[in-house]
Every structure is written in structure tokens, then in C-alpha cells.
Chain A
Amino acid sequence: MITKDQVLDHADTVVDALNILGEVTGLKAKHSVETIAHVAKAVASTLRASLAGAITKEEVAQRNQILLDKLADADAKADDALNKKFAVEDDAG
């Protein structure tokens, strides 16, 4: 199975491959090389944006959520420690 990293790493190759495909299939006869290249880049760009979007949703958001979750845990731990500290002192007094 091809991973998204492999696709990102070979985005240039995808563009080249589509350019060559255009040559081989005769698209060049109907469209300029520039048009074929433009379409190929658009396809590669869309593919890359889709993959990057997945990274945004599944990885970047998750990484920031880890920060928020662990800070919430630390806050609860500190609040609990503070309450226990003075509850103990009140009981002793």
C-alpha cells in the first residue's frame, strides 16, 4: 500500500508521469504541453492538499489536543494537591 508520505515525496514524479502520459496518449496533439502540465500539476496539487488535509485533521489537531488534555490533567492534579494541603492543615489545626 502506498503511504501518504510516499505520495508527498514523489509529487514531482507524479507531475512528470502525467506529463509523459499526455505525450504517450496523444494529448499533446490536442493540447499544448503547458496545458497538460497545468492539468497534471492541478491533479498533484489536489492530491497533496487532500493528503495535507488528512494530516491537519488527524495529526496536527491531535497533537494540539494532547497539549490541552495534559494541561487539564496537570491543572486537576495541582488543584487537588492544593485542596489536600490545606484540608490537612485545617484538620490538624
Chain B
Amino acid sequence: MRHPDRRWRTGAAIAIMMIAFAPYLLLACGPSSRGKALRASLVGVDASRDGFLAYDQEAQAKIVADATSLEEGRAALDTYRAERQKVVAAFEVAYRMIALALVDKADLPAVVEAAASLQDAIDSLRQLHGGTP
């Protein structure tokens, strides 16, 4: 079985790649390909989401296992969840931007920006909590 962190990273990489390329596909292709590209982006973000959920479960389990007191455990979980919120917000923005891009081409740069923000949030959490949760 693959490690959750690896699945998350793979999912995130797929999502970022799909989101990053989708706008270019949209600009280059007609409306039919546009819908398909955005749907592919949705699938990519979903893959990243599922990998992230697996990572989150493992990360919180490790925090609980490493806790030496109830107070320390709660503080560590609170710290982790506060940092995790940035990733959650980035996912929400990515989903919203894709939805907006479905109806308005002017929002395509926002899709690229959302993808970059999602990548930044993921990188930040990874740096704080290491390669393995």
C-alpha cells in the first residue's frame, strides 16, 4: 500500500498539472474541449483532495501518538489544524475558480492563480510537518 503522503503528493501533482494546463487548453480549443478540460481539472482537484484527506488522517494520528500530555496533544492538533486551514481554503478557491471558468473566460487567469495558491499551501504544510506525517 502506498504511503498516504505519497498519494497526496501524487494527487496534488496531478491536480496542479491539470489545473495549470486547463486554461491553455481552453484558450486553444473550442467550447466542447473547454468543458472537458475544466471537468478534467475537477477530477485532478478531487484526486488531490482524496490524497490530502489520507495524509490528514495519518498526520493527526501521529500527533496523538507523539503527545506526552492531553494539553500538549490538543495544542499540537490546534496548531496543525490552523495551518491545514490554508490548504482547505486553497481547495475551496480552486473549486470556485474552476466553476467560474465554466461560465466566463475572463476568469481563466484566476484558475491559474488558484492553482498556484493551492500549490503554495500544500508546500507550506509539507515544510511544517515534514515529508512523512
Contact = CB atoms under 8 A, between A and B. Distances in A.
Given A78-B60, A83-B70, A68 B102 contact: no
Contacts of B52: 67
Contacts of B92: 64
A55 interface: yes
Interface of A: 5, 8-12, 44, 48-49, 52-53, 55-56, 59-61, 63-64, 66-68, 70-71, 74-75, 77-79, 81-83, 85-86
Contacts of A66: 49
B17 to A, nearest CB: 18
Interface of B: 30-32, 35-36, 39, 42, 45-46, 49, 52-53, 56-57, 60-61, 63-64, 67, 69-70, 73-74, 77, 81, 84, 88, 91-92, 95-96, 98-99, 102-103
Contacts, number: 88
Contacts of B53: 67, 70-71, 74
